[in-house]
Amino acid sequence: MSPEIVTIIALVVIFAIATFLPINMGALAFVAAFVVGTLSVGLETDEIIGGFPAGLVLTLIGVTYLFAIAENNGTVDLLVRGAVRLVGGHVAAIPWIMFFVTGVLTAIGALSPAAVAIIAPIALSFAARHGISPLLMGMMVIHGAQGGGFSPISVYGVTVNTIVRDEGLPGSPLAVFLGALFFNLAIALVLFFVLGGRKLIGRKVEAEPLPHTEHAHGTVVRGHGAAPGPAVGGDDDEHVHPDVPQPVRFEQILTLVGLVVVAVLALGFDLDIGFVAISVAVVLALFSAQKHKGAVSQISWSTVLLIAGVLTFVFVLEEAGTIDYVGDAVIGLGVPLLIALLLAYIGGVVSAFASSTAIIGVAILLAVPFLESGDISAIGVVVALSVASTIVDVSPFSTNGALVLANAHDIDKDRFYKQILGYAAIVVAIGPLLAWLVFVVPGWL
């Protein structure tokens, strides 16, 4: 059996196992890279290690370390509470605040699941207390995360733009970012009116506090509408009172300055986001070393393993000639538009059950050969594949969808699960098609 066929079979097996068993796809991919690379492709282990995406791994470690510190010292919660106060308690504005705050977090470097994990509990608590559709609030958070998730300094953005650059394809980081942002914004607008947003217009909440939640390694401070049960590290009835100003601490000010510095140095001076983020994180940790000693354990190591493993196996795919092999077969169909649509659906369907970050890389690499022919807009296809592979993260089997479902306190979870599942099925069915119609068919990119 040819190395190309062996690597394709291995890829299918990886996706299948990761879908049905709780095993990290990255770990499976590392094993496949080693076994298939040495036995079938004829690579030395040093050559396989050479395909390890060191720069991307550094970026993941740096940004997740920085946001672990920002979450622990209350800076992220400070940003969210401040944003809600800015709208003066208007209920109709709260879903949009959740959308844009989550989008800003991912746009400046937070991993999408991390941003959703931070904002979703707050958003769903508001939904339970103020009669807002929990499906609306949960999906606004996820679409917000995906909308901001393709900025040039975000994990998605760095991944896509690095692949495009390395493969020598025409690229436009701004088109990828704005394409994903406005596509998700359009979906959010439809959801707002379909799921009862019109009824919220005109309603106003008196200065009621935003429930404060610190997850993973922090405390829980619940408002009046939160789920029952003891808080971790705090009293059951402790809450942020609206009439008591919450002082901004020095470390929070320092963290806000640090986030601005990261954005400026990475965007304005084109410095490596990984090195900049980890440098700022270490500086912040120095000011409160004991408090942040657990921040390293909050780094998204499972995501690091996932991306590192999959991209290492992708390197083996390239060395085996699999990308060219599949590309030649796809080009043989002779209809570039149909090829792009099929790849969009492959990315969307698989990503609903697996990692969007991993699928984006595979989908774009599979598209490289026919994009090089110039018969279709490479930028348009890249944007469509990026959007199609991420909007399906609303699935309850995907990380973001599962996070929203898990944080649905004071809500009928069985009913909520069915709502999310139904919405995810709609998105998987028509999302890739819409992305294809908007970004590929017109040829305007």
Residue 50: both structure tokens together: 């050479």
pLDDT in tens, 256-292: 999 889 878 876 787 888 899 899 999 999 987 777 7
- 333: number of Cβ within 10 Å: 11
CB 385 within 8 A of CB 155: no
Distances (CA, A) of 175 to 307, 350, 380, 413: 24, 24, 9, 38
- Kindly report the pTM of this predicted structure: 0.69
Contacts of 37 (CB under 8 A, 6+ apart): 43, 47, 48, 316, 319
pLDDT in tens, 286-323: 987 777 778 888 887 887 888 788 889 988 988 998 87
What confidence score (pLDDT) does residue 228 get? 36
pLDDT in tens, 68-108: 888 888 887 776 667 667 777 788 888 999 999 899 988 98
CB 429 within 8 A of CB 445: no
CA-based nearest residue to 439, from 243, 205, 237, 181: 181
Q: What Rg value do the Cα atoms of the chain yield, rounded?
A: 22
CB 320 within 8 A of CB 41: yes
pLDDT of 245 > 60? The answer is: no
CA-based nearest residue to 399, from 191, 146, 79: 146
Residue 211 DSSP label: P
Per cent of the chain over pLDDT 90 is 31
DSSP string, 141-170: HHHHHHHHTTSTTSHHHHHHHHHHHHTT--
The pLDDT-based confidence of 13 (bands split at 50, 70, 90) is very high
Q: Using alpha carbons only, what angle is made at residue 191 by residues 102 and 145, rounded to the nearest 5 degrees?
A: 20
